[in-house]
């Protein structure tokens, strides 16, 4: 229920600046996961910072060449992957024993 | 008890798989029209894709959520090879498999460092990245250049030809069924091989 409340509030705020369609909203979950992974799935402030980093990466890619701007949606995944490969998962959820 | 019996007679199990798939596929090929044949052909194709997932989860407990994206990678590589050199269907199919295995190996590098929820999320993100990439570059359809795109009308697009001996809908369905059985045997053979047993 708490999860639903947060999702609903996010949807209402988002609807004011972004068109609402099922495809966009479904794919929105993947950059959100990238932000959560940057926080190692265990830190709310980390997820907040990760979200801002992901958003800025996308914004910077939009401002680059048109060919790269078309691939901007992949930016957060690549950033999260690089983060995981460099920093690792530590002792967080899913770490290999 | 039946599980033990299955272990004792792999040959009998293999015969059972061939007979069941053969009889069911034969009935479908003889009785169904184009629409249902297309549906069942797609079902067999998805069975092939799921085989990889089942092997990973069953043997190693790894949850991969990017299997459908890897299907897309195989399709892209096959189409690229087909439109470059127009090889026979089997060569095109093998090229897709080999190309996907290379991409899949690179794709699987994160698995060396993580598992469980992290691995599932990472593979989901990779699938999302592939979706973004393929939306931009699209699949090759016989046009010039590496990406092989044609004009916006799409009138010049060339479809990949079916094998000569399976040009009809029912023939192609039976061909896909045979390939599915072959791949089930490959998975079974791997499970029984030394590397496969070491995975458990």
pLDDT tens digits, residue range A60-83?
Answer: 888 888 778 888 888 888 888 888
Residue B154: predicted pLDDT: 67
Residue B178: predicted pLDDT: 92
Q: What is the ipTM for the molecules in this complex?
A: 0.72
* B63 contacts B119 by C-beta, under 8 angstroms: yes
User: Residue A93: inside a domain, yes or no?
Assistant: no
Reduced to 3 states (helix: H, G, I; strand: E, B; else coil), residue B147 is coil
Tens digit of each residue's pLDDT (9 = 90 or more) over B32-47: 888 999 999 999 999 9
Six-digit token string for B136: 């931009």
Residue B41: predicted pLDDT: 93
Percent over 70 (pLDDT), chain A: 90
d(CA B100, CA B73): 6
Residue A96: predicted pLDDT: 47
User: Residue A17: inside a domain, yes or no?
Assistant: no
d(CA B78, CA B89): 9
Question: Out of B115, B119, B128, whose CB is closest to A77?
Answer: B128
Contact B115/A at CB under 8 A = yes
Domain that holds residue A75: 22-87
Number of domains in chain A: 1
In chain A, residues with a C-beta closer than 8 Å to the C-beta of B113 are 84-85, 88-89, 96
φ and ψ of A21, to 5 deg = -145, 155
Q: What is the pTM of this model?
A: 0.79
Beta-carbon contacts below 8 Å between A and B? 64
**Which residue has tokens 């003889």?**
B30
Average the pLDDT over each of A11-25, A26-40, B93-107, B117-131 and give the range with the smallest value: A11-25
Six-digit token string for B192: 């029984």
Q: CB B95: neighbour CB atoms within 10 A?
A: 19
Q: Which residues of chain B have pLDDT under 70?
A: 1-8, 110-111, 115, 154
Provide the pLDDT confidence category of residue A90 given band limits of 50, 70 and 90. Answer: low
Residue B1: predicted pLDDT: 47
Question: Which residues are paired to A95 by β-bridges?
Answer: B114
Six-digit token string for B161: 């030809």
Indicate yes or no: CB of B136 within 8 angstroms of CB of A70. Answer: yes
Residue B76: predicted pLDDT: 92
User: Residue A34: inside a domain, yes or no?
Assistant: yes
* B37 contacts B28 by C-beta, under 8 angstroms: yes
């Amino acid at each position: 229920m708490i999860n639903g409340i947060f999702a609903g509030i996010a949807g209402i705020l988002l609807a004011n600046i972004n068109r609402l369609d099922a495809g966009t909203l479904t794919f929105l979950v993947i950059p959100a996961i990238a932000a959560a992974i940057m926080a190692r799935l265990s830190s709310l402030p980390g997820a907040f910072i990760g979200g801002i980093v992901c958003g800025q990466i996308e914004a910077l890619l939009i401002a680059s060449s048109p060919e790269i701007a078309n691939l901007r949606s992949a930016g957060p995944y690549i950033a999260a992957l690089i983060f995981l490969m460099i920093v690792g998962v530590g002792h967080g959820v899913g770490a290999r024993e | 008890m039946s599980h033990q019996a299955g272990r004792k007679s792999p040959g009998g199990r293999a015969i059972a798989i061939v007979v069941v798939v053969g009889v069911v596929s034969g009935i479908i090929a003889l009785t169904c029209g184009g629409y249902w044949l297309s549906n069942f052909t797609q079902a067999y194709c998805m069975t092939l894709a799921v085989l990889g997932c089942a092997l990973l989860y069953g043997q190693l407990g790894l949850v991969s959520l990017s299997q459908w994206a890897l299907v897309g990678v195989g399709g892209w590589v096959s189409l690229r090879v087909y439109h470059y050199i127009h090889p026979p269907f089997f060569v095109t199919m093998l090229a897709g498999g080999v190309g996907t295995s290379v991409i899949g190996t690179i794709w699987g590098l994160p698995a060396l460092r993580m598992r469980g929820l992290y691995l599932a999320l990472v593979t989901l993100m990779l699938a999302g990245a592939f979706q973004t990439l393929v939306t931009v570059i699209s699949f090759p359809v016989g046009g010039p250049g590496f990406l092989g795109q044609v004009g916006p009308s799409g009138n010049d697009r060339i479809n990949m030809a079916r094998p000569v001996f399976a040009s009809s809908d029912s023939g192609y369905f039976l061909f896909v069924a045979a390939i599915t059985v072959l791949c089930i045997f490959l998975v079974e053979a791997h499970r029984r091989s030394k590397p496969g047993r070491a995975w458990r």
